[in-house]
Amino acid sequence: MSEEHSEHKHHEKKKFSLREFHDKHYKKLLMIPLVLLVLALLQIMVQTALTGDFMLKGVSLKGGITISIEKPIDINELNNYLNDKFPQSDIIVRSLSKGGEQFGAVIEASDVESDQLITAVEEKSGKLEDGEFTVEVMGGSLGESFFKETIRAVIIAFIFMGVVVFIYFRVPIPSLAVILCAFSDIMVTLAVANLIGIKMSTAGIAAFLMLIGYSVDTDILLSTRVLKRKDSSVFDAILNAAKTGLTMNLTTLAAIIVALIFAQSDILRQIMTILLIGLIADMINTWLQNAGILKWYVERKHKHD
Amino acid sequence: MIKAKKIFKNFRVIIALIAILLALVAINPNPFAKGVAIRSVSFNSSASLAGIQSPKPTANPMSRERILSMNNVPINNLQDYYDFVSDLNINRTVNIKTTEGLYKLLTKEKIDIIQLNQTETKKIKEQVFNGTLNKTVNITKFITVQKTRETHTGEMEDLGLIVYDAPTTNIRKGLDLQGGTRVLLQPAEEVSTDEMDMLLANMKYRLNVYGLSDVVVRQAGDLSGNQYILVEIAGAKEEEVNDLLAQQGKFEATIGNNTVFRGGTDITYVCRSADCSGIDPYVGCGQTSDKNWACRFRFSISLSPAAAQRQADLTNELSVISDQGSEEYLSEKLFLYLDDKKVDELNIGSDLKGKAATEIAISGSGAGTTRQEAIFNSLENMKRLQTVLITGSLPVKLNVVKTDAISPSFGKEFINNSLFIGLLAVLVVSAIVFIRYKSLKVALPMLFTMLTELILLLGMAALIGWNIDLAAIAGIIIAIGTGVDHQIVIADEILKGEAQVYDWKQRIKKAFFIIMAAYFTTAVAMIPLLFAGAGLIKGFAITTIMGITFGVLIARPAYAAIVEILMKE
């Protein structure tokens, strides 16, 4: 019993300095996520101006062929060979590996016939038997329509999410803070994905939907703890929420990292990469931006009361 | 001990346990399932003659017929099956024991049929609709067909069975995981619901006539109102399927500029048996100038009386011209068009002038780099043409917009990889939770809850026949991931509720206030995906919504109950 007590005291001491710091500087801390958001929006604008699209589209969104083969092969050699052979098309070769050992390759290409591409690959890999390779062909117009469709799905999902948040909390500013946080998450993630050159697939866009789900979880936890607190301070409520929320984020991060290390599927890796970026963005946006806005809101409300 | 009793008496826990039990019944796992399951049986093959039937594509995986032994040799896997079949010879009896019964199968000799330059008269039975009697009657008639000679190859004809390793659960694997062909087609113009139904029925029929039974043909749409048809053929890697499906199958035969007959209603019978279809004996196969091989095929069809009369009227006006040889032809040729592309042109024998002949031979060709390949391609072309003549034309032209041919070995690798990652992730997450709370009372029930959610999700998928594919696995990840998040919320509310002002009920209520808000936002965010993008990522949305719903309604309340009982002094 006494031990627990001393631990509690120890905790309070630590909390004390952090509390002062937060009370004093939380508005400045608010600047970090806002600057990030502005930078992200700038990146997306530049990207759109340069390429005409706000993200790098993979073959599943712009049409093209994906061939996966299950034979160890020299990736660089194949890449150079194919790019020389089909100069007009955009070809990327990536390796598939299991436990650090390469066992195959994924070839993504646009503007080339699948038969020609397979024949060219076979020149390097040897004859490919049925069942040794997978070919996915996406028509160009369908790719374009898939792109529009999934983007539309994300926008509608975002609106639905916003409506639910409003209905649930029934107070405008905290609800808007949750929505802004989800918006920032998406924008920052998109900008980072663009910067590191992720070629987005349909699954990648689906990952943004997952992100909305994960992002809103911690925001709702935070808002509920702050708005429904009984007699503790805003800071205590935020700190309590952060303890729970960061544990949530930590478990999710751990699962994502496990998947990133071991996943063989390209699609799964892309989903996990986007979730990883998104989750880190969400940690900043939830605990600096959303927490800051909430604290500001509650303090102003107190003044007015 | 008392606590354990309390846990098992708690009604939330009881509901969760009952749900797990039901899910396990639906999944029906049997890791020791032996034999090879039958995917399909070819038309007119040894297996089909012995009475073995193709399974319905909707049948549960575990209820599918499995071959257990052949001639008392146990067949435990695909390798056993292939080993046994490769040792078979012609005219042997094979006793096949399956889960459904015993079959006596006679192996056949593979016979190449060559048609001779002679005709013979054959008696056939035909079903004809009689207008005056107003019913269908059987009539016997004599038709003239080409005489054929059969060459015995001495090799055994394939048994006609396509088999795969026996499934061990009722969970259906999607194409991504088991390999196969997926084709997405888009009608060239908007079609009505009736037309769409007809399209789907026609395409299923085509695939069945073609010998593919384990197929899914369904309508799909998207948010922009586009219509699609999604065809998935499990375990098959059939490139020609693309053409077969997309072909509108508008078949037309003309003389001059006049239509003589069209596919569908004008054709009453299409011969598919060896005695009146196969490689054309007049021409057979030959090498072309560029060293390639080409073969001609022909098969006979029966025309409706109206179409035969049309032919008589048209040929009557033509004059007879004679070839260099003794043959005499009519001045116009018969042109055959498939989807407005000319398939073949035929000389019309002078004896057909003005005759209402109902028996007609249709021909075409196929090419290849070797003689074997040319024969194979000709016969494939013939099979396709026969299929569209039998099934008639589609009401609208279809465009192939996406094709995927997925290798089965990638799928197997992927399942093992996903299971490994999933297990490792669950362990790592449990370890973190244990370190954070330093309590097995929190961490162990969480592990149990994660597994419960997984079992419930798979059980539901097995029950409604939902395919587990890549998208569904992503959905499982998000469902279980948010599940862990919510259990942490529950654990924290229970352990560290603000001071001790709340009672247990209030703490759990507060936890569920947060959880329900998170649930609703995630669920509504998934709804647009149900309708977007031709339904190809629908699996992700459905699995996620199903998973979080089970979590919120069954697994997480049980978790709260268990932790509450364990923690309460």
Give tens-digit pLDDT for B228-251: 888 888 765 555 676 667 777 778
Do A115 and A40 fall into the same domain?
no
Model pLDDT, residue B501: 54
Model pLDDT, residue A219: 92
Candidate from A33-37, A47-51, A218-222, B305-309 with smallest mean pLDDT: B305-309
**Do the chains contact at B409 and A131, CB–CB below 8 Å?**
yes
Pairing of strands B36-41, A133-138: unpaired
Q: What is the pTM of this model?
A: 0.77
Residue of A nearest to B421 (CA): A259
Task: Report the alpha-carbon distance of residue A213 to residue B541 in Å, rounded.
Answer: 12
pLDDT of A234 over the 60 cut: yes
Higher pLDDT, A115 or A130: A115
Do B10 and B50 fall into the same domain?
no
Candidate from B11-20, B112-121, B441-450, B515-524 with smallest mean pLDDT: B112-121
Residue among A138, A152, A258 whose CB faces B424 most closely: A258
Question: Is A1 contained in some domain?
Answer: no
Q: Tell which of A112, A138, A164 closes a domain.
A: A138
Give chain A's end-to-end CA distance (angstroms, integer). 41
- The total of other beta-carbon atoms located within 10 Å of residue A176's CB is 17
Section B455-480 average pLDDT: 86
Enumerate the residues of chain B whose CB falls inside 8 A of the CB of residue A267.
470
B115 in Cβ contact with B280 (< 8 Å): yes
pLDDT digits (tens, 9 = 90+) for B430-452: 999 999 888 888 889 999 999 99
Residues 6+ apart with CB under 8 A from B284: B114, B295, B296
**Do the chains contact at A139 and B400, CB–CB below 8 Å?**
yes
Measured between CB atoms, does B494 come within 8 Å of chain A? no
Band of pLDDT at residue B89, cut at 50, 70 and 90: confident
- Reported in sequence order, the residue ranges of B412-526 that DSSP labels E, i.e. its strands, are 467-468
Closest to A104 in 3D by CA, of A80, A130, A128, A120: A128
Q: Is B259 helix (H, G, I), strand (E, B) or coil?
A: strand
pLDDT of B90 over the 70 cut: yes
Section A140-167 average pLDDT: 87
| CATH number, domain with residue B79 | 2.30.42.10
**Do the chains contact at A148 and B224, CB–CB below 8 Å?**
yes
Measured between CB atoms, does A79 come within 8 Å of chain B? no
Domain count for chain A, please give it: 2
ipTM above 0.95, yes or no: no
**Do the chains contact at B510 and A228, CB–CB below 8 Å?**
yes
Q: Tell which of A76, A103, A138 closes a domain.
A: A138
**Do the chains contact at A232 and B403, CB–CB below 8 Å?**
no
Do B51 and B67 fall into the same domain?
yes
Residue of B nearest to A222 (CA): B514
- Listed by number, the residues of chain A in 197-216 with a beta carbon closer than 8 Å to a beta carbon of chain B are 202-203, 206-207, 209-210, 212-214, 216
Residues 6+ apart with CB under 8 A from A236: A229
Section A172-191 average pLDDT: 94
Q: Dihedral sign for Cα A141, A142, A146, A147, please.
A: negative
Residues 6+ apart with CB under 8 A from B529: A153, A157, A206, A209, B537, B538, B540, B541
Q: Pick from A18-27, B157-166, B553-562 the range whose average pLDDT is largest.
A: B553-562
pLDDT digits (tens, 9 = 90+) for B484-522: 989 998 888 888 654 555 577 788 888 888 889 889 988
Model pLDDT, residue B111: 67
Do B437 and B332 fall into the same domain?
no
B325 in Cβ contact with B413 (< 8 Å): no
Candidate from A261-275, B447-461, B481-495, B525-539 with smallest mean pLDDT: B525-539
Measured between CB atoms, does A224 come within 8 Å of chain B? yes
pLDDT of B142 over the 70 cut: no
B511 in Cβ contact with A240 (< 8 Å): no
A285 in Cβ contact with A40 (< 8 Å): no
Cα of A93 to nearest chain B Cα, Å: 17
Do B360 and B498 fall into the same domain?
no
Task: Report H helices in B157-254.
Answer: 175-178, 193-209, 240-246
Do A168 and A252 fall into the same domain?
yes
Question: Is A186 contained in some domain?
Answer: yes
| CATH number, domain with residue A256 | 1.20.1640.10
Q: Is B436 helix (H, G, I), strand (E, B) or coil?
A: helix
Paired strand residues for B277: B299
Higher pLDDT, B145 or A267: A267
Query: Which DSSP string corresponds to B210-225?
Result: TT--SEEEEEEE-TT-
**Do the chains contact at A150 and B537, CB–CB below 8 Å?**
yes
Domain count for chain B, please give it: 3
Model pLDDT, residue B186: 86
Do A93 and A214 fall into the same domain?
no
Residue among B404, B429, B513 whose CB faces A224 most closely: B513
Residue among B418, B488, B536 whose CB faces A248 most closely: B488
pLDDT of B472 over the 90 cut: no
Model pLDDT, residue A2: 43
pLDDT digits (tens, 9 = 90+) for A53-84: 888 888 888 888 888 888 788 888 888 888 88
pLDDT of A127 over the 80 cut: no
Do A118 and A24 fall into the same domain?
no
Task: Report H helices in A53-199.
Answer: 59-62, 75-85, 114-125, 140-169, 172-195
Paired strand residues for A221: none
Enumerate the residues of chain B whose CB falls inside 8 A of the CB of residue A107.
none
For an interface test with B, the pick among A68, A69, A128, A142 (most B C-beta atoms closer than 10 Å) comes out as A142
* Torsion region of B392: left, alpha or beta (phi above 0 gives left; psi -120 to 50 gives alpha): left
Name the token pair of A300: 């102003």
Q: Helix %, strand %, coil % for chain A, to 5?
A: 75, 10, 15
Band of pLDDT at residue A43, cut at 50, 70 and 90: very high
Q: Which amino acid is at A267?
A: I
Band of pLDDT at residue B350, cut at 50, 70 and 90: confident
Section A266-291 average pLDDT: 92
Q: Tell which of A104, A138, A172 closes a domain.
A: A138
Model pLDDT, residue B109: 77
Which range marks the domain in which residue B354 is found? 114-147+272-374
Model pLDDT, residue B243: 67
| CATH number, domain with residue B468 | 1.20.1640.10
Higher pLDDT, B335 or A162: A162
pLDDT of A186 over the 90 cut: yes
Model pLDDT, residue A9: 47
pLDDT of B130 over the 70 cut: no
Closest to A109 in 3D by CA, of A124, A88, A130, A95: A88
Do B287 and B365 fall into the same domain?
yes
Question: Is B131 contained in some domain?
Answer: yes
Q: Is B253 helix (H, G, I), strand (E, B) or coil?
A: strand
Candidate from A278-292, B85-99, B145-159, B414-428 with smallest mean pLDDT: B145-159
Candidate from A179-188, A230-239, A284-293 with smallest mean pLDDT: A230-239
Residue of A nearest to B502 (CA): A230
Measured between CB atoms, does A137 come within 8 Å of chain B? yes
Q: What is the mean pLDDT of chain B?
A: 80
- The total of other beta-carbon atoms located within 10 Å of residue A71's CB is 15
Enumerate the residues of chain A whose CB falls inside 8 A of the CB of residue B524.
157, 160-161, 163-164
Between A and B, how many residue pairs show a Cβ–Cβ distance under 8 A? Answer: 222
Measured between CB atoms, does B53 come within 8 Å of chain A? no
Higher pLDDT, B274 or B401: B401
Section B48-66 average pLDDT: 80
Tally of residues, chain A: 305
Q: Which amino acid is at A130?
A: D
Which range marks the domain in which residue A129 is found? 64-138
Query: Which DSSP string corresponds to B57-103?
Result: TTS-GGGS-EEEEETTEE--SHHHHHHHHHT--TT-EEEEEESS-EE
Do A215 and A275 fall into the same domain?
yes
Q: Pick from A169-173, B393-397, B500-504 the range whose average pLDDT is largest.
A: A169-173
**Do the chains contact at B524 and A164, CB–CB below 8 Å?**
yes
Residue among A131, A136, A216 whose CB faces B521 most closely: A216
Tell me what percent of the residues of chain B surpass a pLDDT of 90.
8
Give chain B's end-to-end CA distance (angstroms, integer). 14
pLDDT digits (tens, 9 = 90+) for A284-294: 999 999 999 99
Cα of B532 to nearest chain A Cα, Å: 6
Measured between CB atoms, does A140 come within 8 Å of chain B? no
Enumerate the residues of chain A whose CB falls inside 8 A of the CB of residue B410.
68, 70, 134
